[in-house]
Structure 1
Amino acid sequence: MSGSAKPRVLHIGDPVEHNHELYNRLATEFDFVRPATDEREREPFMKALKEKKWGDFHAIFRPFWNNGGEMGQWDHELISLLPSSVKVFASAGAGYNWADVDVLADHGILYCNGAAASSEAVADMAIYHIISVFRNLQWSQLAARSCDPDQFLEAHKFATMTACNPRDKILGIVGLGNIGYTIAKKAYACFGMQIHYQDLYRKTPEQESAVGATFHQSLDEMLGVADCIVLAAPFSGETLINAAKLSRFKRGSRLVNIARGGLIDEDALVAALEDGHLFAAGLDVHANEPHVHPRLAGMRQVNVTSHNAGGAIDTRIGFERLAMENIERVLTGKDAITPVNKHLLKVN
Structure 2
Amino acid sequence: MIISTFRQLPWCVAAAASGSAAAFRDCHLNAPAQSHNLRGQALGIVGMGNIGQRVASRCRHGFGMQIHYFDSERKSRSAELAVAATFHDTLPGLLRAADCVVLCAPASTGPGPGAAMDASALAHLRPGARLVNVGRGALVDEDALVAAMQQQRVSAVALDVHADEPRPHEGLRRLAAQGRALLTCHNAGGTVETHAAFEELSMRNVMAVLSGGRALTAVNLGQLKT
TM-score, length-normalised on structure 1?
Answer: 0.61
The equivalent residue for 1:303 is 182
Pairing 1:5-16 to 2, within 5 Å after superposition: none
Between the aligned partners of 2:214 and 2:86, the Cα distance in structure 1 is 31
Between the aligned partners of 2:133 and 2:190, the Cα distance in structure 1 is 15
Between the aligned partners of 2:214 and 2:80, the Cα distance in structure 1 is 26
- The aligned amino acid for 2:198 is F
Aligned-pair CA distance for 1:306: 1.4
1:139 equivalent to 2:11? Answer yes
The equivalent residue for 1:347 is 225
**Match of residue 234, structure 1, among 98, 102, 106:** 106
3-state SS, counterpart of residue 225 of structure 2: coil
Aligned-pair CA distance for 1:324: 1.8
Q: CA RMSD in A?
A: 1.5
The equivalent residue for 1:320 is 199
The equivalent residue for 1:174 is 46
Aligned-pair CA distance for 1:220: 1.0
- The aligned amino acid for 1:256 is V
1:223 equivalent to 2:102? Answer no
CA deviations 1:267-313 (Å, max 9, x no partner) are 11000001001111011111111111122122121111111211110
* More RCO (CA 8 Å, sep 6+): 1
**Match of residue 170, structure 2, among 278, 294, 298:** 294
The equivalent residue for 1:336 is 215
Between the aligned partners of 2:102 and 2:13, the Cα distance in structure 1 is 22
The equivalent residue for 2:58 is 186
The equivalent residue for 1:261 is 137
Between the aligned partners of 1:333 and 1:179, the Cα distance in structure 2 is 30
Between the aligned partners of 2:162 and 2:214, the Cα distance in structure 1 is 34
Aligned-pair CA distance for 1:212: 0.6
3-state SS, counterpart of residue 298 of structure 1: helix
3-state SS, counterpart of residue 102 of structure 2: strand
Pairing 1:45-194 to 2, within 5 Å after superposition: 129-194=1-66
3-state SS, counterpart of residue 224 of structure 1: helix
Instruction: Point out 4+ residue stretches in structure 1 off by more than 4 angstroms.
Output: none
Aligned-pair CA distance for 1:238: 4.3
For structure 2, the 5+ residue unaligned runs are none
Between the aligned partners of 2:218 and 2:121, the Cα distance in structure 1 is 30
1:249 equivalent to 2:125? Answer yes
CA deviations 1:13-39 (Å, max 9, x no partner) are xxxxxxxxxxxxxxxxxxxxxxxxxxx
- The aligned amino acid for 2:86 is T
- The aligned amino acid for 1:231 is L
CA deviations 1:147-172 (Å, max 9, x no partner) are 11111111111111111111111101
Between the aligned partners of 1:220 and 1:137, the Cα distance in structure 2 is 28
3-state SS, counterpart of residue 69 of structure 2: strand
Aligned-pair CA distance for 1:239: 1.7
Report which stretch shifted further, 192-201 or 228-237. 228-237
CA deviations 1:307-333 (Å, max 9, x no partner) are 121111011101111112122223434
Aligned-pair CA distance for 1:251: 1.5
Between the aligned partners of 1:177 and 1:327, the Cα distance in structure 2 is 24
Structure-2 change in CA distance of 1:286 and 1:141 (3 Å): same
- The aligned amino acid for 1:347 is K
The equivalent residue for 1:281 is 157
Pairing 1:203-218 to 2, within 5 Å after superposition: 203-218=75-90
**Match of residue 72, structure 2, among 180, 200, 207:** 200
- The aligned amino acid for 2:220 is N
Between the aligned partners of 2:66 and 2:221, the Cα distance in structure 1 is 32
CA deviations 1:208-265 (Å, max 9, x no partner) are 1111111111111001110000000012374211111111112211000011111111
CA deviations 1:124-165 (Å, max 9, x no partner) are xxxxx1110011111111111111111111111111111111
Between the aligned partners of 1:197 and 1:242, the Cα distance in structure 2 is 18
Between the aligned partners of 1:244 and 1:333, the Cα distance in structure 2 is 50
